[in-house]
Amino acid sequence: MVRIRKIEINNFRSIRSFFWAPSEGINCLIGLGDSGKSTVLDAIDYCLGARRNLNISDTDFFNLDVTQDIIIRLTLGSLPDSLKSIEHYGACLRGFDQVTGEVEDEPRKGLEMVLTQQLTVKADLEPVWSLFSERTLTEDPPRALRWKDRTALAPARLGHHSNANLSWTKGSVLNRLSDERADVGSELVKAAREARSGFGARAAPQLENALKAVTKTANSLGVPVGASATALLDTHAVSFGDGAISLHSEDGIPLRNLGTGSSRLLIAGLHREAAALASVVLVDEIEYGLEPHRLTRLLNSLGSKEKSPPLQAFITTHSPVALRELAGTQLFVLRTHTGDHKAEPVGADNDVQGAIRAYPEAFLARTVLVCEGASEIGFIRGLDDFFVSEGGGSLQSSGVSYADAGGGEADTCFQKAKAFQKLGYRVAVVQDADKAPTAKLVEEFKTAGGYHFAWRGAKALEDELFTSLPDDAVDKLIARAHRRWKGRCSH
């Protein structure tokens, strides 16, 4: 089953440059909205999909600069014999080093034999698909994949509209489920003819007066219509193509009427069954239309828990449920700096994996506040509500999330914060000062760009509140605590 070994994107939409060696199985991109996650999926789809043209405009060029060509390259490995054919692709075969992730133009011993599919779009907006290698750069026209190979390699995209995959249209997963395509052409022609003639016999009595008038007028004008004009369905109006055959339930209800989530589940399962040559699946916002338990089933169907993944899936998500279900090796944080994008692997370190399980929402934010405990989180949320009531902005709307370090030792906050910091998140630690953290740990955290907030002196949150608040506020705090204590006692 073909796998994408390397992705290179240049000057496409918000991406000036992007290089990524994805994993064999699930590759889940996470990050802020508009960080380029969907653009990466579109780039794969545009480059590898079986299409003869693209709807490209000037807005698809980075910074609208049409003088810089859009170039998308996908290096494909795990090639079947048909794609290693010396006759068809010999001059384009290259070598991939799985250790370094580098591609060499000459295949040699120790390297995997690969092909690099390239999509180029210049200022004339005409897309050109070709096989890239240094040896064939000067050839005109450039070498390209045979159409049947492009069709076989085309990735499956599970979008909001999946009708095409629930009927026997070109490129449908249903056509990939069997080695030989069903010969239904003659039956479709027969059905169309029967529909035309059957309609004429049933409609003639109702249209009798009109047909007599047409026949009389035609004969008087010398227009040949025979002894009597008839009403049949137009041959162009009744022409059945492959798309006329679609999946239905036992009760005859079209499966295209399924909800979005159910359609995605079914089609993902079918693609797994059909995964032979084409085994790349693209899913944008995988949680769309799915309850948590069905989202888990969809991820399992894509091979999230399997050592030998049946498919190579590229997905995006904003769902904490998806993050909890996936391993750190399947998650990549998409980072950008002035158009240069990078997919940072979350990794499988214990501290990172533990943070994903405990604070998945934080991995979907821009800034993470690691708080010593629930009291600090409650305090910050209260401040946030106050700022909003006074006309200020909300922390959460600015991309801030909270992580509860669970109290305990003062160093715990910094150990938790480290998991986020090494993945490029802006991180701050908020804690009491009654227990002093290790000075070296604090210094390392701040040197790496972290922020440390603690109360004055050796005070805890409660100490600072009663020291800083005016008397009426202290009275309200005591009254509130008293009411809560009485409420608990009554139970």
Least confident of 33-42, 201-210, 242-251, 415-424: 242-251
Choose the weakest-confidence range: 208-217, 361-370, 416-425.
Answer: 208-217
In a domain, 48, yes or no: yes
Q: What is the pLDDT of the chain when averaged over all its residues?
A: 86
214 within domain boundaries? yes
Of the candidates 162, 178, 156, the one whose C-alpha atom is nearest the C-alpha of residue 50 is 156
Report pTM. 0.81
pLDDT of amino acid 180:
46
- Inside any domain, residue 417: yes
Sheet with 451-454, edge to edge strand ranges: 400-404, 367-371, 426-431, 451-454
Residue 403: the pLDDT is 93
pLDDT score of 233: 64
Of 76-80, 186-190, 344-348, 437-441, the least confident: 186-190
The identity of residue 15, as a single letter, is I
7 pLDDT higher than 50: yes
Query: Number of structural domains, the chain?
Result: 3
pLDDT at 425 over 80: yes
Residue 136 to residue 288: CA distance in whole angstroms: 43
Q: Are 288 and 321 in contact (CB under 8 A)?
A: no
| Inter-residue contact 358 to 391 (CB < 8 Å) | no
Closest CA to 463 of 472, 452, 453, 474: 474
DSSP letter for 458, please. Answer: T
Domain check: are 124 and 189 in the same one?
no
Note whether 50 and 154 are same-domain residues.
yes
Closest CA to 123 of 83, 67, 175: 67
Which pair of tokens denotes residue 428? 């701050």
How high is the pLDDT of residue 13? Answer: 95
Which of residues 320, 345, 370 is at a domain's end? 345
What local confidence, expressed as pLDDT, does residue 239 receive?
Answer: 55
Which of the two residues, 484 and 131, has the higher pLDDT score? 131
Say whether both 273 and 413 belong to one domain. no
The domain in which residue 405 lies consists of: 350-459
Give the whole-angstrom CA distance, residue 62 versus residue 10: 8
Residues 299 and 447 in one domain: no
Residue 308 and residue 265 share a domain:
yes
Report if residue 211 sits inside a domain: yes
State whether 119 and 193 are in the same domain: no
d(CA 276, CA 318): 30
Task: Transcribe 198-247 into DSSP letters.
Answer: HHHHHHTTTTHHHHHHHHHHHHHTT----SS------TTTS---GGG-B-
User: Are 89 and 216 contained in the same domain?
Assistant: no
pLDDT at residue 254 greater than cutoff 90? no
The helix/strand/coil state of 394 is: coil
pLDDT at residue 27 tops 50 = yes
Same domain, 289 and 379: no
Q: What percent of the chain has pLDDT over 90?
A: 49
Tell me which range, 7-21, 96-110, 203-217, 287-301, is most confidently predicted by mean pLDDT: 7-21
Alpha carbon distance 397, 384 (integer Å): 10
CATH number at residue 375: 3.40.50
With bands split at pLDDT 50, 70 and 90, how would you rate the model's confidence at 202? confident
**Shared-domain flag, residues 376 and 275:** no
In angstroms, rounded to a whole number, what is the distance separating the alpha carbons of residues 176 and 273?
9
Q: In this structure, what is the dihedral angle of CA atoms 435, 437, 438, 440, given to the nearest 10 degrees?
A: -150
70 & 170 share domain:
yes
Together in a domain, 379 and 425: yes
Q: Is residue 379 part of a domain?
A: yes
Residue count of the chain:
491
> pLDDT by residue (tens digit) across 154-189?
888 886 555 666 666 666 666 666 554 555 556 666
Cβ of 484: how many Cβ atoms within 10 Å?
A: 10
The CATH number assigned to the domain holding 287 equals: 3.40.50.300
Query: Beta strands 70-77 and 340-345: pairing type?
Result: unpaired
Task: Report the pLDDT value the prediction gives residue 334, as an integer from 0 to 100.
Answer: 94
The answer to whether residue 164 is domain-embedded is yes
Strand 451-454 with 15-20, pairing: unpaired
Crossing angle of the two packed helices 292-301 and 260-274, in degrees rounded to 10: 20
Q: How far apart are CA 377 and CA 391, in angstroms?
A: 21
CB 23 within 8 A of CB 101: no
Query: Is pLDDT at 325 greater than 60 in this prediction?
Result: yes
Most confident range (mean pLDDT) of 304-308, 336-340, 480-484 is 304-308
Section 114-132 average pLDDT: 96
CA distance 79 to 107: 13
The residue written with tokens 């599919």 in the block is 117
- Domain membership flag for residue 473: no
Q: Are residues 36 and 145 in the same domain?
A: yes
β-strand pairing of 103-104 with 26-30: unpaired
Residue predicted with more confidence, 289 or 37: 37
Is residue 452 a part of any domain in this protein? yes
